[in-house]
Amino acid sequence: MTPRPRRAVCPGSYDPVTSGHLDVIARAAALHDEVVVAVLHNPAKAGTFTVEERIAFVRNGLAALGVTEGVRVEAFGGRLLVDVCRDLEADVVVKGLRGTTDFAYELPMALMNRHLTGIETLFLPGDTKFEHVSSSLVKEVARYGGDVTGLVPDEVRDALVTRLRGDG
């Protein structure tokens, strides 16, 4: 019997994707047959970037890292992660952890998701060089003119400057 592919879901808002996210997705892809990057968004709330922009940033960022095989990026609005995972027939959720604050935030969600459907969450330690990087902090720095080069793909950096500094 051919074993079924191991499919992982990397969920997030990705508004926008950071270099830390991309590192975790690339490492998840190396560990699984398939990875679905699930861009989860609240349809009632406008983000900084549209869902289409977020998807394109993730796709382009992964391509720039040479991660093209076995990864797809899809958007899901207004749904529970566990329901998305069930529809995708995912085996596991993969999340990156930057430290104890992330763990405190992620642990109840992992336990709730397991409570709801039994799906497990695997935590990958984030690369320490991205320990201080989050979508919200990168946006704040960019909004006030700070340089976020290297913390996000260049395309995202340029879009942040345009969107948050008032030209777009």
Residues at the contact surface with ligand PNS, assessed by CB under 6 A: 11-13, 40, 80-81, 109, 112-113
Name the minimum Å distance from CB 1 to ligand PNS: 33
CB of 151 to ligand PNS, least distance (A): 15
Q: How far is the CB of 3 from ligand PNS (least distance, A)?
A: 28
Scan for tokens 């991309």, then name that residue: 22
What is the C-alpha separation between 20 and 138, in angstroms, rounded? 11
Give the closest residue to 28 by CA, choosing from 49, 7, 45: 7
Query: Which residues does residue 121 pair with via DSSP β-bridges, in sequence order?
Result: 93
Q: Which is nearer to ligand PNS, 32 or 95 (CB)?
A: 95
Q: Report the candidate in 119, 129, 49 with the shortest Cα–Cα distance to residue 91.
A: 119
Q: Least distance (Å) from ligand PNS to the CB of residue 144?
A: 22
Q: Reduce the DSSP state of residue 53 to 3 states and report it.
A: helix
Nearer to ligand PNS, 121 or 164 (CB): 121
Known catalytic residue at 139: no
Cβ-based nearer residue to ligand PNS, 118 or 145: 118
Identify each DSSP E strand in 46-167 by its residue range: 71-77, 92-97, 120-125
Which C-beta is closer to ligand PNS: that of 65 or that of 80?
Answer: 80
- Cα angle 99, 106, 110 (rounded to 5 degrees) comes to 135
21 is catalytic: yes
Q: Which residues are known to be catalytic?
A: 21, 45, 98, 135
